[in-house]
Amino acid sequence: MAREKTSCLSRIAAGAAVGGALGGAVGAVYGTYEAIRFRVPGLLKIRYIGQTTMGSAAIFGLFLGAGSLIHCGK
């Protein structure tokens, strides 16, 4: 029983990590596109891209981690 919980926790952590990495990559590309499109001035581009990257990574990691949790319960 304890081994199943450890395996389930590792699956959830792996799902969240993969989701965070994938969401971060997509967020960086999208943030760069939006910063250029809206002509964000100077160093604010870096801040805008960073916020978009972190937000996207957090949301996508959360959803993939939750999906792994649901899948683990079956």
Q: What are phi and psi of 55, to 5 degrees?
A: -65, -45
Q: Residue range 2-13: average pLDDT?
A: 83
* Ramachandran assignment for 13, one of left (phi > 0), alpha (psi -120 to 50 degrees), beta (any other): alpha
Q: Is the pLDDT of residue 4 over 70?
A: no
Q: Which 3 state secondary structure label does DSSP give 6? A: helix
Q: Is the pLDDT of residue 1 over 60?
A: no
6 confidence band (pLDDT: 50, 70, 90) = confident
Cα 48 to Cα 6, 27, 40, distances in angstroms: 38, 11, 8
For the chain, the structural domain boundaries read 18-72
Q: What is the pTM of this model?
A: 0.86
pLDDT digits (tens, 9 = 90+) for 8-59: 999 999 999 999 999 999 999 999 999 999 999 999 999 999 999 999 999 9
Residue (of 74, 70, 55) closest to 12 by Cα position? 70
